[in-house]
């Protein structure tokens, strides 16, 4: 469902904008002295957007399940007396858009909570680790390099400014990729773990953005992944906007991208992953 995928992508973008804003408030030379403020901004922005991602995913899962099975599932956000109308309203609220509506008839309920509980301590640890890799460690390395740069007669002021600017830019990109992954993982994990624990779910498929990387395109082209005891991890990466769309019956419909990548894969005709990468880059 495109609305869902786009809404998750928008949450990652919202995080990226807040991170860019936090960075823009700091001069390159003040970075080392501003790490505490930057970390607070980074982790708070992740926490808030991740909470929204989780809520959105639960509303999406519950809606898709009700549309395909005619039954409501319990868990966070469940309210007695739920109908297709109220589930659409919850989903619309989480996406910030009005995308659908349904009848007010009360649906039968499966009292079960398949959704993973929020684990704030674990999430905080992941955000801190991400900040250390993407920002703190790299600022430290940058600081170690600065005296040599400044002492070098070969570099003029403009080149030094460009060097600082490029570094800030790389912090922006690296932070938005890694932080955006954590934001969307909150929702992706909610769906991926819920379907393992929900006897009503039979699998999922991968909904990508319009131009995913070659690896995600390959995974999406495979279509439905049926649930098994060993359903592999979803496998997202930084700057990846793929989402798992749960499936509850064999009558599911794939997104147009899945069909497009499946066709490309058939036309590719086989070969190594590296061959596919080249083929995909040329034909995308």
Of residues 134 and 184, the one with the C-beta less far from Zn ion: 184
Nearest distance, CB of residue 283 and Zn ion, angstroms: 18
Q: Which two tokens stand for residue 284?
A: 């995308």
Q: Is-contact 243 188, C-beta < 8 A?
A: yes
Nearer to Zn ion, 90 or 257 (CB): 257
Cβ closer to Zn ion: 65 or 188? 188
- Decide if 87 contacts 62 (C-beta within 8 A): yes
Which residues within the stretch 168-227 sit at the binding site for Zn ion (CB under 5 A)? Answer: 212, 216
Please say which residue, 28 or 254, places its beta carbon nearer to Zn ion: 254
Residues 145-164 that bind Zn ion (CB under 5 A): none
Which one, 185 or 198, has the nearer CB to Zn ion? 185
Could you tell me the smallest distance in angstroms from the CB atom of residue 242 to Zn ion? 3
Closest approach of Cβ 33 to Zn ion, in Å?
Answer: 36
> Cα angle at 9 between 7 and 11, to 5 degrees?
75
Give the interface size with Zn ion as a residue count (CB under 5 A).
4
Chain position whose Cβ is nearest to Zn ion: 216
Extended beta strands in 55-149, E state: 72-73, 109-110
Residues numbered 221 to 260 that lie near Zn ion (CB under 5 A) are 240, 242
- Grouping H, G, I as helix, E, B as strand and the rest as coil, residue 243 is strand
- Report yes or no: 190 and 222 within 8 Å, Cβ to Cβ: no
- Taking the complex as a whole, the smallest distance from the CB of residue 270 to Zn ion amounts, in Å, to 22
CA–CA–CA angle 10, 15, 21 (5° rounding): 125
Residue in the structure block whose two tokens are 């932080």? 179
Residue in this structure with the two tokens 């769309």, named with its chain if needed:
245
The upper half-sphere exposure of residue 39, i.e. CA atoms within 13 Å in the direction of its Cβ, equals 19
Nearer to Zn ion among residue 11 and residue 216 (C-beta):
216
As measured in angstroms, the least distance from the Cβ of 241 to Zn ion is 6
CB of 220 to Zn ion, least distance (A): 8
Query: Are the C-beta atoms of 227 and 196 separated by less than 8 Å?
Result: yes
**Those residues with Cβ within 8 angstroms of residue 250's Cβ, 6 or more apart along the chain or in another chain:** 202
Nearer to Zn ion, 171 or 216 (CB): 216
Q: How many CA atoms lie within 13 A of 276 on its CB side?
A: 18
Minimum distance of Zn ion from residue 239's CB (angstroms): 8
Contact residues toward Zn ion (CB under 5 A) are: 212, 216, 240, 242
């Amino acid at each position: 469902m495109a609305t869902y995928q786009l809404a998750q992508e928008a949450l990652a973008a919202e995080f990226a904008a807040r991170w860019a804003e936090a960075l823009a408030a700091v001069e390159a030379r003040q970075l080392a002295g501003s790490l505490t403020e930057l970390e607070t901004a980074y982790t708070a922005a992740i926490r808030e957007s991740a909470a929204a991602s989780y809520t959105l995913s639960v509303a999406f899962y519950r809606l898709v399940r009700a549309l395909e099975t005619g039954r409501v599932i319990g868990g966070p956000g469940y309210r007695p007396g739920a109908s297709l109308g109220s589930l659409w309203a919850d989903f619309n609220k989480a996406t910030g858009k009005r995308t659908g509506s349904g009848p007010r008839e009360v649906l039968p309920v499966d009292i079960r909570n398949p959704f993973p509980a929020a684990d704030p301590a674990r999430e905080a640890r992941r955000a801190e680790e991400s900040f250390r890799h993407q920002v703190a460690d790299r600022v430290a390395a940058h600081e170690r390099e600065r005296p040599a740069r400044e002492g070098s007669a070969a570099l003029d002021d403009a080149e030094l400014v460009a060097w600082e600017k490029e570094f800030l830019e790389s912090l922006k990109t690296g932070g938005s990729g890694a932080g955006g992954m954590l934001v969307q993982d909150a929702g992706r994990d909610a769906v991926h773990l819920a379907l393992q624990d929900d006897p009503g779910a039979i699998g999922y498929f991968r909904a990508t953005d319009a131009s995913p990387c070659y690896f995600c395109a390959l995974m999406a082209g495979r279509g439905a992944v049926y649930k098994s005891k060993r359903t592999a991890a979803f496998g997202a990466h930084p700057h990846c906007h793929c989402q798992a769309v749960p499936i509850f019956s064999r009558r599911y419909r794939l997104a147009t991208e899945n069909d497009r990548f499946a066709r490309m894969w058939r036309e590719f005709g086989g070969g190594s992953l590296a061959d596919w990468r080249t083929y995909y880059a040329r034909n995308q």
